[in-house]
A and B are shown apart, each in its own frame.
Chain A
């Protein structure tokens, strides 16, 4: 029994130790990445290409999801609000839910699974096929040339995707609320306009999406760069990116919400 307990605690200790060590390594990696970020802005084409891959190619999934989430909000919101006779506030409910919470969080989760996993797999495979080593031997720093542009591409793309998610979501809410169930169009828009505050709501939402962008991009490039250079290693790293990024987004959202609102 005591042996079993010993092993049990040892394995917990080992995992905690491992986790802290990895976190430290990830922080050092981020620091190195930031130091070598100059090239991402001097040769902005490299970063722009990544914005295209992570951002533009995620547009469809983001916008379709946004539309449906907005439509669901419209239905559920109307259902609840009309019980209290305040269905005219549907616009406010849809807009605030999206801008404050669902926009950044849902876009972040979708971004992690659509673009983050792709970045991890790409960097991991480049490592497994010695492309990163080859680059190093060509006197080109892979962190500066490959990793940093992907990181910044994600950081730039994420807030734009979150904004688009919220915008299509509001449109989805409008479609269902105004066109389908017949909330007054003027009330829908005017209440939204008067109740959504730029600084308090929109700016805070943008800050959230920037933070999520940094976190997801950081996790994706780190997992890719740190992946074991085998098929199994890359697949594990991709899974870890999606799982870690999703949990981190939800956790960070809680912290940010507590601080902001």
Chain B
């Protein structure tokens, strides 16, 4: 099965997306002609090694970065041509979970989850109270509502941040490395939550990750990014049995392969002997 066999109702479609960070020493290309689609109701994983442009891709979908070429269309709206007001309106329909949660450290767990609701709605405080507890209950942390973020473990912060990102029932939920630094139990809890919340909310999800084992269990479709391009794509089964060298190296965690163990350098012998 290829992506074309999935139902063609895409919430987000990305066409020919290119992005480079410009630096004084010349520009470094991060993304180069990426095409991608996130179908409604599905969970899509974007995988690739560290620093291959996965997070940049998420920021591009959220309109926080502007591509040099190409477009991101969410629900019929081209993200980068929108005015600030419209972009903010569009973002109300997105939720994003940051790598380390990015909870506001000066307010309690309860207030963190209540934050987007209070900012965007005029609901009475009793209703906000109930909504927040429902969201926290969904991630299993209703009992932690009164704690401060610095009293939470890594896994708990991640779950609170997840509750916060679904506070306004978004259509699209984005996860930036949701599995980094979690113990095995928290890891599978977060993994299960991502799937369950996606299905319960009828949302679509994008997970940027390099954790193969957990994500292949919960996602519907996988994109592999390497050197700014889509190196491979397919359903989890296709990825597992793929014979593309890069994918094989990644899925089976081999230290050397198309992604070299050594960072590009001068010839070893010449460098040690100080030869030109």
Contact = CB atoms under 8 A, between A and B. Distances in A.
A80 interface: no
Contacts of A140: 115-116, 119-120
Contact of B62 (A126, A129, A137): A137
Contacts of B99: 130
A258 interface: no
Nearest to A132: B102
A138 B119 contact: yes
B102 A134 contact: yes
Contacts of B246: none
Contacts of B102: 129-131, 133-134
B105 interface: yes
A193 interface: no
B85 to A, nearest CB: 10
B88 A134 contact: no
Most buried by A among B95, B98, B164, B165: B98
A139 interface: yes
A139 B116 CA distance: 8
A141 interface: yes
Nearest to B94: A137
A131 B116 contact: no
A136 interface: yes
Contacts of A136: 62, 64, 91
B17 interface: no
Interface in B89-106: 89, 91-92, 94-96, 98-100, 102-105
B100 A137 contact: no
A138 B98 contact: no
B96 A137 contact: yes
Most buried by B among A129, A131, A134: A134
A154 B86 CA distance: 32
Contacts of A129: 100, 102, 105
Interface in B152-210: 161, 164-165
Nearest to A125: B105
Most buried by B among A126, A131, A145: A131
A139 B91 contact: yes
Interface in B19-71: 62, 64
B100 A133 contact: no
A137 B91 contact: yes
A137 B91 CA distance: 6
A163 to B, nearest CB: 29
Contact of B92 (A126, A139, A141): A139
A133 B92 contact: no
Contact of A133 (B64, B89, B95, B164): B64
Interface of A: 126, 129-131, 133-134, 136-141, 145
Please give me the 5 A-B residue pairs with the lowest Cβ-Cβ distance, nearest first.
Answer: A134-B102, A139-B91, A130-B102, A137-B96, A139-B88
Interface of B: 62, 64, 88-89, 91-92, 94-96, 98-100, 102-105, 115-116, 119-120, 161, 164-165
